C-alpha cells in the first residue's frame, strides 16, 4: 500500500514538474549535445481557436446533386489540393479536414483577406508545362507565365478559370471571361496583398508550352533500374505541340507548374513524339504518387462550393480571451475558497489537486495540441465542476464513515472505494455523451460542438486521475506527517 | 426529511416551469410557422451576420440599409430586409439573407467609401439555408442517440438491481425534463429579449444533458448500494433515504458549478452571456430533476401509481411523469 503511494507520489511530482515546464514556456527545443541537431522542437504556445484569435473558417461542400455519389478518396485528394493551394497563398497554419460524406472544413487563423482566400480556393487548379530553357528555378518557386495573360492588368487569380476553356494554351483569346477577377481585386484595400505575394518571384515571364488539359493518362511505374517514374500519355491535341517543343529543346528543362507554383523540373532527355513520355527524377514512391496525383487532378476531382463561412476579427477574439480568462480565474478562486471552508483539510488538499488538474490540462492542451475555443473553455470549466464533484462525493462518504465511528485511515479507504462506483458510472455517461457529440460535430463540420466534446472528455479523464489518485496521495502524505486523529474538526466534523 | 412523500408537489413545480415554456414555444411557432418553436439564429436557418465597427462618423440604420439594397444574396434576392441593430457605441450588427464573402467585401468597401474612416469587420458569419436545416435535424438525432446510449448504459450498470430498465428510463425522463426547461427558458428569452438560438445554445443544451444524467446517476448509485444493505426496508423509504444521503453532495456540486458559471456570466463578456445563462438554468434544472423527479419516478413506477391517478381529484395529469 505504502509502496504504491510512494510510486504515485513520484509520478505526480514528475508530472507537475513537466506540466509547469511546458505551461511556462512558449517553445521547447532540445538539441543533441553531440551534433547540435534538434531532437525535440515543440511549439508550446497556447493554441487559440479561430473564434478567439480571429480568422476565417469555411465549410466547403461538393458541388454535386447527390452527396452519396462523392468518392471519399477523391474528396481527400481535393482536400490535399486545396491545402497546398492555400499554402501557396502564403497563409500559414491552415487546417483542412474532411467532414462527413461531402464536406471539407477549412480554417485559416489570423488572415485579413478572406475574400481572396475563398475565391482562390474555389478556382479550378491550373496545371502548366513551362519552358525553363537551360536555367531551371528551384521547386516551390512561384513564377509568372504567359498563359492566359490577355492583358497586363489581369490578376493571376483570374487565370485559373482558363483551363477548362481551351485545350490549346496558345489560344489566349478563348480564355473564359474572367468574371470573378475585377470585382474581387477591387473589393478592399487589402486586395493587393495577395497579388503582390504571388509576384515577389522573379519578374521573368515564362512560356507555357501546354496545360494539364492536354494530359490523357498518368501512372507511376518503376524504371528498368528500379527507380520510380511517372508515365503519361497525351491527348491528340497535345501530342503535336509537345512533339514540336521537345524536339527543339532536348537537354533543356521543362517545369511542371501547378497554380503558378513549380512542383517539379524534369530535364528533356529525348524528343517525345508519340504522345507518350516519362518524367524521371529522384522520386520516392510517395513523391512520385504525389506528383502523379497533381498531374491527374490539376483541377479538383470534386468541385466545391462554400456553404458556410465565418470571419472573426482579431479585436473581438482578444476581448473574449481576456474576459473569459478573468471569469475563469474568479470562478476557480471561489470554488477553491468554498472547498477549503466547507471541507477543511481535505478540501484544501482537493484544491491542490484542482490546481494540479489545471496545470496538467493546460500542458495537454499545449502538447496535443488542442485549439482553445469559447465552447472549449466552457467544456473545460464544466469539467472543473465535475473534477470537484468526484472529490465532493468522496469527502461526503469520508465524513459519513467517520461519523459511524471508523478510524481515520479506515474511513479514507472506505470513502474512496465506496464513492468509486458512482464516480465511474456518472463519468462514463458523460463520456458517452462526449463521444456522440464528437461524431455529430465531425460529420457535420460543426467544429464548435467537436471542440467542446474533446475538451469535456479530456477534462473528465484528467479529473478522474486527479480526484482519485492525486487527492488521495496528498491526503496520505499529510496523514503520515501529522497527527490528524486528534483533530476531527479538520475534516469538517 | 421526506422528499419522496411530497413527490406530486415537486412534479407540479416542474410543470409550472415547463408548461409556460411550452406555451411560449407554441406562440412562437404560430407566429413563425417556418421556424418552429424557437427563434433560430442564422446558424440554423441560414443567412448572414455581419458585425462592423466604424471609426469615422457612425451611419444611421437607414444609411446601412441603403447600402444593402444595392446587393444581392447568394440566391439572387435583393437584401432589402436586413435587420440592423446597434452594437455598443461605434458598431452595428446586420443580419440578412445569405451573402458570400465577395459580396461582403463589396459591401464593406461601399460603406468605407460612403461613410469615410475605416470600417472594421468584427465578425462575419454566412450559412446556407440547406446546411442550417441539416444541422438542426442532425442535432435532434444526436440528442436522441445520446438518450438511447445512456438508457442502455444505465440499464447495464444497474443490472444487479431489480428492474434495471426503470433506472435508465427515469434518468432519460429527467433528462427530457431538463431539455424542456432549457427550451422553455430559451423561448421566453426569445419572446422578451429577442434572443436567438445559435450553435452555442446547442452546445449549452448538450452540456445540460451530460450534467443531468451525471447527477441522476449519482443518486441512483446510492439507491443501488442501499438496496443491498437494507433488504427489509420498503422501496419508498429506501429511495428517500438515498436521496437525503446524497443531498449534501448534490447541493455542493451544484454550487461549485454555479460559482464558475456566475463568474462567467458577470465577467465573461457578451459573447458567452447567452450561453452561460442557458447553462445556469439547465444545470439548476439538472440538479432539481435528479433529486425531485428521477428518484420519485422510480417510486411511482414501483407502486404503479398511475392506476390511481384517474380516481383521485388532484395530481391527475398524465404529464406528471415529466
Q: What is the mean pLDDT of chain A?
A: 75
Q: Which residue of B has its CA nearest to A426?
A: B214
How far does Cα B125 stand from its chain's mean position?
A: 22
* A381 closest CB neighbour out of B120, B204, B260: B260
Residue-range domain boundaries for chain B: 4-37+131-321, 47-127
Query: Taking CA A274 as the corner, what is the angle to CA A273 and CA A275, rounded to the nearest 5 degrees?
Result: 95
pLDDT on residue B271:
72
pLDDT on residue B137:
81
Mutation pick from A62, A158, A381, A424 vs chain B, by most beta carbons of B within 10 Å, is A381
CB neighbourhood size of A403 (10 A): 11
pLDDT on residue A181:
30
Of A60, A86, A120, which one is at a domain's C-terminal end?
A120
Instruction: Please report the residues numbered 151 through 180 in chain A whose beta carbons come closer than 8 angstroms to any beta carbon of chain B.
Output: 180
Chain B residues with CB inside 8 Å of A182's CB?
none
Say yes or no: A352 and A249 in one domain.
no
Q: Which residue of B has its CA nearest to A330?
A: B263
Q: What is the ipTM of this complex?
A: 0.78
Higher pLDDT, A471 or B319: A471
pLDDT on residue A43:
72
Nearest CA to A347 among A489, A150, A457, A483? A489
B55 CB-near residues (< 8 Å, 6+ apart): B90, B117, B118, B119, B120
Calculate the CA dihedral of residues B274, B279, B282, B283 and round it to 10 degrees.
-160
pLDDT at A230 over 90: no
Between chain A and chain B, the number of residue pairs with CB atoms below 8 A apart is 236
Asked whether residue A482 is domain-assigned, the answer is: yes
Chain A nearest CA to B267, separation (Å): 5
Instruction: Please answer yes or no on whether A426 and B264 come within 8 Å at the CB atom.
Output: no
pLDDT at A268 over 80: yes
Say yes or no: A403 and A486 in one domain.
yes
Residue in the structure block whose three cell numbers are 480556393: A121
Instruction: Please answer yes or no on whether A309 and B138 come within 8 Å at the CB atom.
Output: no
- Which range scores top for mean pLDDT: A6-15, A139-148, A302-311? A6-15
Name residue B267's beta-bridge partners: none
Separation of alpha carbons B290 and A422, rounded Å = 14
Chain A residues with CB inside 8 Å of B261's CB?
331, 381
CATH of domain B4-37+131-321: 1.20.1640.10
Name residue A217's beta-bridge partners: A233
Instruction: Please report the residues numbered 214 through 253 in chain B whose beta carbons come closer than 8 angstroms to any beta carbon of chain A.
Output: 214-215, 217-218, 221-222, 224-225, 245-246, 248-249, 252-253
Low-confidence residues in chain B, pLDDT < 70: 311-322
Say yes or no: A363 and A448 in one domain.
yes
Residue in the structure block whose three cell numbers are 463589396: B106
pLDDT at A228 over 90: no
Say yes or no: A283 and A430 in one domain.
no
Asked whether residue A45 is domain-assigned, the answer is: no
Say yes or no: A74 and A148 in one domain.
no
Higher pLDDT, A378 or A80: A80
Mutation pick from B271, B282, B294 vs chain A, by most beta carbons of A within 10 Å, is B271
pLDDT at A156 over 50: no
Cell matching residue B240:
428517500
Query: Taking CA B183 as the corner, what is the angle to CA B178 and CA B189, rounded to the nearest 5 degrees?
Result: 125
Say yes or no: A63 and A11 in one domain.
no
Q: What is the CATH number of the domain that holds A286?
A: 3.30.1360.200
pLDDT on residue B244:
92
Q: Which residue of B has its CA nearest to A384?
A: B257
Chain A nearest CA to B279, separation (Å): 10
Question: Within an 8 Å CB–CB cutoff, is residue A280 touching chain B?
Answer: no
DSSP secondary structure letter of residue B320: G
B4-37+131-321 and B47-127 share one fold: no
* A310 closest CB neighbour out of B124, B145, B213: B124
Cell matching residue A387:
473534477
pLDDT on residue A170:
30
Chain B residues with CB inside 8 Å of A428's CB?
153, 157
Question: Within an 8 Å CB–CB cutoff, is residue B139 touching chain A?
Answer: yes
Of A269, A299, A329, which one is at a domain's C-terminal end?
A299
pLDDT on residue A154:
34
Question: Within an 8 Å CB–CB cutoff, is residue B119 touching chain A?
Answer: no
pLDDT on residue B78:
84
pLDDT at A9 over 80: yes
Helices (H) and strands (E) in chain B, counts: 12, 4
Say yes or no: A80 and A215 in one domain.
no
Q: Which of the four pLDDT bands, split at 50, 70 and 90, describes residue A407?
A: confident
- Strand A103-109 relative to strand A95-99: parallel, antiparallel, unpaired? antiparallel
Q: Give the sign of the dihedral formed by CA B146, CA B152, CA B155, CA B158.
A: negative
Query: Cis link prior to A369 (omega < 30° from 0)?
Result: yes
Say yes or no: A180 and A105 in one domain.
no
pLDDT at A161 over 50: no
Question: Within an 8 Å CB–CB cutoff, is residue B264 touching chain A?
Answer: yes
Mutation pick from A106, A433, A434 vs chain B, by most beta carbons of B within 10 Å, is A433
pLDDT on residue B278:
92
* A331 closest CB neighbour out of B199, B213, B259: B259
Q: What phi-psi label fits residue A27: left (phi over 0), alpha (psi between -120 and 50 degrees) or beta? A: beta
Instruction: Please answer yes or no on whether A331 and B262 come within 8 Å at the CB atom.
Output: yes
Chain A residues with CB inside 8 Å of B272's CB?
320, 324, 374, 378
Mutation pick from B145, B219, B256, B283 vs chain A, by most beta carbons of A within 10 Å, is B256
Model confidence over A441-462: pLDDT tens digits?
777 666 677 777 888 888 889 9
Chain A residues with CB inside 8 Å of B130's CB?
307
H, E, C per residue of chain A: CHHHHHHHHHHHHHHHHHHHHHHHCCEEEEECCCCCCEEEEEECCCCECHHHHCEEEEEEEECCCCHHHCCHHHHHHHHHHHHHHHHHCCCCCCEEEEECCCEEEEEEECCCCHHHHHHHHHCCCCEEEEEEECCCCCCCCECEECCCCCCCCCCHHHHHHHHHHCCCCCCHHHCCCCCCHHHHHHCCHHHHHHHHHHCCCCCCEEEEEEEHHHEEEEEEEECCCCCEEEEEEECHHHHHHHHHHHHHCCCCEEEEEECCEEEECCECCCCCCCCEEEEEEEECHHHHHHHHHHHHCCCCCCCEEEEEEEEECHHHHHHHHHHHHHHHHHHHHHHHHHHHHHHHHHHHHHHHHHHHHHHHHHHHHHHCCCCECHHHHHHHHHHHHHHHHHHHHHHHHHHHHHHCCCCHHHHHHHHHHHHHHHHHHHHHHHHHHHHHHHHHHHHCCCHHHHHHHHHHHHHHHHHHHHHHHHHHHHHHHHHHHCCHHHCHHHHCC
Give yes or no for a contact between B124 and B48, defined as CB atoms under 8 angstroms apart.
yes
Separation of alpha carbons B8 and B11, rounded Å = 5
Q: Which of the four pLDDT bands, split at 50, 70 and 90, describes residue A155?
A: very low
Give yes or no for a contact between A102 and A62, defined as CB atoms under 8 angstroms apart.
yes
Say yes or no: A162 and A98 in one domain.
no
How many domains, in total, are found in chain A?
3
pLDDT on residue A297:
59
Asked whether residue A271 is domain-assigned, the answer is: yes
Q: What is the pTM of this model?
A: 0.71
Question: Within an 8 Å CB–CB cutoff, is residue A319 touching chain B?
Answer: yes
User: What's the domain range around A88?
Assistant: 50-120
Say yes or no: A280 and A180 in one domain.
yes
Question: Within an 8 Å CB–CB cutoff, is residue A444 touching chain B?
Answer: yes
Asked whether residue A43 is domain-assigned, the answer is: no
Model confidence over A27-68: pLDDT tens digits?
777 777 777 676 677 777 777 777 777 788 888 888 777 777
Chain A residues with CB inside 8 Å of B121's CB?
311, 313
Instruction: Give the CA distances from residue B154 to residues A236, A457, B148, B225, B293, in Å, rounded to whole numbers and listed in that order.
Output: 68, 19, 10, 15, 17
Chain B residues with CB inside 8 Å of A313's CB?
51, 53, 120-123
Say yes or no: A380 and A287 in one domain.
no
pLDDT on residue B289:
94
Q: Which residue of B has its CA nearest to A310?
A: B125
Nearest CA to A121 among B308, B100, B222, B88? B100
Question: Within an 8 Å CB–CB cutoff, is residue B138 touching chain A?
Answer: yes
Model confidence over A299-349: pLDDT tens digits?
577 778 888 888 877 666 677 778 877 888 888 888 889 988 888 888 888
Say yes or no: A285 and A317 in one domain.
no
Q: What is the CATH number of the domain that holds A475?
A: 1.20.1640.10
B144 CB-near residues (< 8 Å, 6+ apart): none
* Architecture of domain B47-127 in this structure: 2-Layer Sandwich (3.30)
Of A86, A120, A154, which one is at a domain's C-terminal end?
A120
Instruction: Please answer yes or no on whether B214 and A389 come within 8 Å at the CB atom.
Output: yes
Give yes or no for a contact between B226 and B242, defined as CB atoms under 8 angstroms apart.
yes
Instruction: Please answer yes or no on whether A338 and B104 come within 8 Å at the CB atom.
Output: no
Question: Within an 8 Å CB–CB cutoff, is residue A261 touching chain B?
Answer: no
Amino acid at each position: 500500500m505504502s509502496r504504491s503511494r510512494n510510486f504515485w507520489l513520484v509520478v505526480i511530482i514528475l508530472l507537475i514538474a513537466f506540466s509547469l515546464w511546458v505551461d511556462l514556456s512558449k517553445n521547447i527545443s532540445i538539441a543533441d549535445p553531440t551534433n547540435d541537431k534538434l531532437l525535440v522542437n515543440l511549439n508550446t504556445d497556447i493554441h487559440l481557436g479561430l473564434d478567439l484569435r480571429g480568422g476565417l473558417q469555411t465549410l466547403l461542400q461538393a458541388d454535386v446533386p447527390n452527396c452519396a455519389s462523392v468518392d471519399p478518396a477523391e474528396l481527400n485528394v481535393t482536400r490535399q489540393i486545396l491545402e497546398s493551394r492555400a499554402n501557396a497563398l502564403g497563409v500559414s497554419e491552415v487546417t483542412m479536414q474532411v467532414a462527413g460524406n461531402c464536406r471539407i472544413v477549412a480554417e485559416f487563423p489570423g488572415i485579413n483577406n478572406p475574400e481572396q482566400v475563398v475565391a482562390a480556393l474555389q478556382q479550378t487548379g491550373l496545371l502548366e508545362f513551362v519552358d525553363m530553357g537551360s536555367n531551371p528555378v528551384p521547386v516551390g518557386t512561384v513564377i509568372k507565365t504567359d498563359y492566359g495573360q490577355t492583358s497586363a492588368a489581369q490578376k493571376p487569380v483570374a487565370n485559373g478559370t482558363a483551363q477548362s476553356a481551351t485545350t490549346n494554351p496558345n489560344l489566349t483569346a478563348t480564355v473564359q471571361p474572367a468574371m470573378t477577377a475585377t470585382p474581387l481585386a477591387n473589393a478592399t484595400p487589402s486586395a493587393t496583398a495577395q497579388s503582390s505575394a504571388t509576384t515577389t518571384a522573379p519578374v521573368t515571364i515564362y512560356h507555357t508550352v501546354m496545360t494539364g488539359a492536354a494530359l490523357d493518362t498518368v501512372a507511376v511505374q518503376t524504371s528498368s533500374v528500379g527507380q520510380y517514374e511517372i508515365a503519361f500519355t497525351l491527348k491528340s491535341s497535345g501530342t503535336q505541340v509537345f512533339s514540336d517543343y521537345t524536339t527543339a529543346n532536348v537537354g533543356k528543362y521543362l517545369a511542371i507548374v501547378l497554380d503558378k507554383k513549380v512542383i517539379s523540373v524534369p530535364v528533356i532527355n529525348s524528343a517525345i513524339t508519340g504522345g507518350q513520355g516519362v518524367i524521371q527524377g529522384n522520386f520516392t514512391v510517395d513523391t512520385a504518387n504525389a506528383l502523379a496525383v497533381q498531374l491527374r487532378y490539376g483541377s479538383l476531382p470534386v468541385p466545391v462550393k462554400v456553404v458556410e463561412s465565418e470571419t472573426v476579427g482579431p479585436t473581438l477574439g482578444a476581448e473574449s480571451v481576456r474576459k473569459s480568462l478573468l471569469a475563469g480565474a474568479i470562478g476557480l478562486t471561489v470554488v477553491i475558497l468554498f472547498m477549503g471552508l466547507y471541507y477543511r483539510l481535505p478540501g484544501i488538499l482537493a484544491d491542490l489537486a484542482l490546481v494540479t488538474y489545471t496545470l496538467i490540462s493546460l500542458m495537454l492542451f499545449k502538447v496535443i495540441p488542442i485549439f482553445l475555443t469559447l465552447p472549449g473553455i466552457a467544456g473545460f470549466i464544466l469539467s472543473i465542476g465535475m473534477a470537484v464533484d468526484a472529490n465532493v462525493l468522496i469527502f461526503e462518504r469520508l465524513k459519513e464513515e467517520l461519523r459511524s465511528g471508523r478510524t481515520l485511515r479506515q474511513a479514507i479507504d472506505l470513502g474512496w472505494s465506496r464513492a468509486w462506483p458512482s464516480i465511474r458510472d456518472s463519468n462514463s455517461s458523460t463520456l458517452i455523451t462526449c463521444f456522440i457529440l464528437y461524431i455529430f460535430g465531425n460529420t457535420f463540420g460543426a467544429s464548435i460542438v467537436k471542440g467542446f466534446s474533446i475538451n469535456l472528455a479530456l477534462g473528465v479523464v484528467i479529473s478522474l486521475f486527479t480526484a482519485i489518485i492525486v487527492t488521495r496521495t496528498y491526503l496520505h502524505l499529510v496523514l503520515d506527517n501529522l497527527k490528524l486523529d486528534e483533530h476531527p474538526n479538520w475534516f469538517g466534523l | 426529511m421526506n422528499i419522496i412523500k411530497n413527490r406530486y408537489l415537486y412534479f407540479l413545480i416542474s410543470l409550472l416551469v415547463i408548461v409556460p415554456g411550452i406555451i411560449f414555444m407554441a406562440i412562437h411557432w404560430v407566429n413563425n410557422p417556418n421556424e418552429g418553436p424557437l427563434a433560430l439564429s442564422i446558424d440554423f436557418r441560414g443567412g448572414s451576420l455581419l458585425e462592423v465597427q466604424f471609426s469615422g462618423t457612425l451611419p444611421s440604420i437607414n444609411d446601412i440599409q441603403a447600402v444593402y439594397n444595392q446587393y444581392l444574396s447568394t440566391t439572387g434576392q435583393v437584401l432589402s430586409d436586413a435587420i440592423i441593430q446597434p452594437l455598443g457605441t461605434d458598431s452595428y450588427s446586420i443580419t440578412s439573407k445569405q451573402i458570400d464573402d465577395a459580396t461582403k467585401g463589396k459591401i464593406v468597401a461601399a460603406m468605407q467609401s460612403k461613410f469615410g474612416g475605416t470600417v472594421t469587420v468584427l465578425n462575419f458569419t454566412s450559412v446556407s439555408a440547406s446546411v442550417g436545416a441539416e444541422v438542426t435535424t442532425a442535432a435532434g438525432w444526436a440528442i436522441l442517440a445520446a438518450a438511447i446510449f445512456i438508457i442502455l448504459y444505465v440499464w447495464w450498470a444497474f443490472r444487479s438491481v431489480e428492474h434495471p430498465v426503470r433506472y435508465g428510463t427515469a434518468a432519460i425522463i429527467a433528462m427530457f425534463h431538463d431539455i424542456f426547461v432549457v427550451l422553455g427558458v430559451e423561448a421566453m428569452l426569445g419572446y422578451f429579449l429577442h434572443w436567438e438560438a445559435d450553435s452555442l445554445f446547442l452546445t449549452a443544451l448538450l452540456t445540460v444533458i451530460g450534467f443531468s444524467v451525471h447527477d441522476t446517476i449519482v443518486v441512483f448509485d446510492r439507491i443501488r448500494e442501499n438496496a443491498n444493505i437494507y433488504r427489509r426496508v420498503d422501496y419508498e423509504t429506501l429511495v428517500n433515504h438515498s436521496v437525503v444521503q446524497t443531498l449534501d453532495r448534490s447541493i455542493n456540486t451544484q454550487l461549485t458549478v454555479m460559482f464558475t458559471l456566475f463568474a462567467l456570466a458577470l465577467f465573461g463578456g457578451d459573447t458567452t452571456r447567452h450561453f452561460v445563462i442557458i447553462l445556469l438554468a439547465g444545470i439548476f434544472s439538472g440538479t432539481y430533476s435528479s433529486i425531485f423527479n428521477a428518484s420519485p419516478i422510480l417510486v411511482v413506477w414501483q407502486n404503479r401509481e398511475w392506476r390511481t391517478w384517474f380516481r383521485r381529484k388532484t395530481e391527475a395529469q398524465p404529464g406528471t411523469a415529466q
